[in-house]
């Protein structure tokens, strides 16, 4: 009898931990992690192409990028709850703290723990590069928290799009390349722009979907400030500009490489059409498709680099 009780107790514990693990995984927002993974992979591909690829620094850059985004997602979950931005009428995926699945204290602790892990990986990178990367690491850590917290939260003051372009495009591509090559390349800067612009579209879908809720709580996203029509046009412009920035690279490759880019653009237009026609929770599908587009385009860029 006691053995049966112990087995049942163990099964309940395993089930509880599995359920909690699911909540934490959802809070990390895995469907959007391509926004941090893609620029780091592109930086690594550029280093490999130039013959300067170093496995350990490359792996550390990927870890820093992923951990920093997860920490940012945890922080948004916590601070948006504290600011009242996650009400019962939330249209996006259910937030862990607002739903009561994870306590605010646990989420705040997880935010700092994940951010600390990202910082440790960043500190190890100093042994492979130069000390002046330390201020950059500090700036990234501050922005992770300042995005939705502090006296001037960036996401609440129309600066979210700029932050995404910088920290999910220019910074990770350029500095992932730098810590391996120990020099900056103009191509890494140029190629960071398409990835950054397409990553901005992930945020645009979020802000477009949450337009009314954000306006009600004073969250001044670009869509709240300039309207939903602006959001639709900006989404389209980002996709077009991403392709335009890639044209110099395409001119140096085989003609058949253009075909996958044409396929991407049709896929992108299909996703943009979703944005213009869907409302409310249906836009969560568009969010996933937008993140998929970032990954698809990054893989196309990497393929193009090695076919030059």
- pLDDT(200) > 90: yes
pLDDT of residue 87: 57
The Cα angle at residue 261 between residues 257 and 265, in degrees rounded to 5: 165
Distance CA 162, CA 112 (A): 24
pLDDT class of 99 with cuts at 50, 70, 90: confident
Distance CA 69, CA 115 (A): 9
pLDDT value of position 129: 83
Q: Give 68-126 as a 3 state SS string.
A: HHHHHHHHHHHHHHHCCCCCCCCCCCCCCCCCCCCCHHHHHHHHHHHHHHHHHHHHHHH
Q: What b/e string do you get for 239-256 counting C-beta neighbours within 10 Å, with b at 16 or more?
A: beebbebbeebbeeeeee
- 113 or 92, greater pLDDT: 113
Per-residue confidence (pLDDT) for residue 14, from 0 to 100:
41
Confidence category of residue 80, pLDDT binned at 50, 70, 90: confident
pLDDT at residue 86 in the model: 58
| Percent of residues, the chain, with pLDDT higher than 90 | 61
For residue 308, what pLDDT is reported?
Answer: 72
pLDDT(180) > 60: yes
Task: Read off the pLDDT of residues 139-159 as tens digits, 9 standing for 90 and up.
Answer: 889 998 898 888 888 889 999
* Percent above pLDDT 70 for the chain: 90
Report the pLDDT value the prediction gives residue 100, as an integer from 0 to 100.
Answer: 83
Residue 101 has a pLDDT of 87
∠ CA 185-188-193 to the nearest 5 degrees? Answer: 140
Q: What is the dihedral of CA 204, 209, 211, 213, to 10 degrees?
A: -130
How confident is the model at residue 148, as a pLDDT? Answer: 86
pLDDT in tens, 2-31: 444 344 444 433 444 467 788 899 889 888
pLDDT digits (tens, 9 = 90+) for 81-92: 887 765 555 565
pLDDT band at 98 (very low <50, low <70, confident <90, very high): confident
The mean of the pLDDT values for the chain is 88
CA dist 24 and 169 (Å) reads: 26
Kindly state the average pLDDT of the residues 94-112: 88
Position 258 confidence tier, pLDDT thresholds 50, 70, 90:
confident
pLDDT for position 9 = 42
Whether the pLDDT of residue 189 is over 50: the answer is yes
Lowest-pLDDT range of 51-65, 70-84, 191-205, 291-305 = 70-84
pTM across the whole model: 0.89
Range with the largest mean pLDDT of 94-108, 131-145, 163-177, 243-257:
163-177
For residue 166, the model assigns a pLDDT of: 94
pLDDT at site 88: 54
Asked if pLDDT for residue 73 goes beyond 50, the answer is yes
């Amino acid at each position: 009898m006691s053995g049966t009780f112990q087995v049942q107790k163990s099964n309940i514990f395993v089930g509880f931990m599995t359920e909690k693990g699911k909540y934490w995984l959802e809070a990390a927002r895995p469907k959007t992690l391509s926004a941090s993974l893609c620029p780091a992979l592109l930086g690594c591909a550029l280093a490999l192409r130039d013959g300067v690829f170093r496995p350990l620094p490359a792996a550390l850059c990927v870890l820093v990028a992923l951990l920093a985004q997860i920490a940012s997602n945890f922080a948004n979950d916590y601070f948006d709850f504290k600011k009242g931005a996650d009400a019962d009428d939330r249209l996006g995926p259910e937030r862990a703290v607002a739903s009561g699945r994870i306590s605010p204290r646990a989420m705040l602790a997880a935010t700092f723990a994940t951010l600390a892990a990202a910082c440790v990986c960043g500190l190890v990178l100093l042994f492979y590069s130069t000390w002046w990367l330390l201020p950059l690491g500090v700036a990234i850590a501050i922005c992770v928290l300042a995005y939705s917290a502090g006296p001037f939260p960036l996401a609440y003051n129309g600066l979210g799009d700029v932050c995404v372009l910088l920290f999910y495009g220019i910074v990770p591509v350029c500095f992932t390349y730098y810590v391996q090559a120990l020099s900056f390349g103009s191509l890494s800067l140029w190629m960071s722009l398409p990835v950054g612009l397409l990553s901005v579209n992930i945020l645009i879908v979020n802000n477009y979907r949450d337009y009314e809720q954000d306006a009600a709580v004073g969250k001044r996203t670009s869509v709240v400030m300039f309207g939903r029509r602006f959001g639709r046009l900006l989404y389209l412009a980002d996709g077009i500009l991403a392709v335009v920035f890639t044209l110099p690279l395409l001119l140096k490759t085989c003609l058949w490489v253009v075909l996958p880019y044409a396929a991407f653009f049709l896929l992108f237009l299909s996703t943009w059409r979703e944005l213009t026609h869907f409302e409310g929770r249906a836009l969560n599908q568009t969010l996933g498709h937008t993140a998929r587009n970032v990954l698809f385009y990054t893989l196309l860029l990497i393929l193009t680099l090695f076919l030059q």
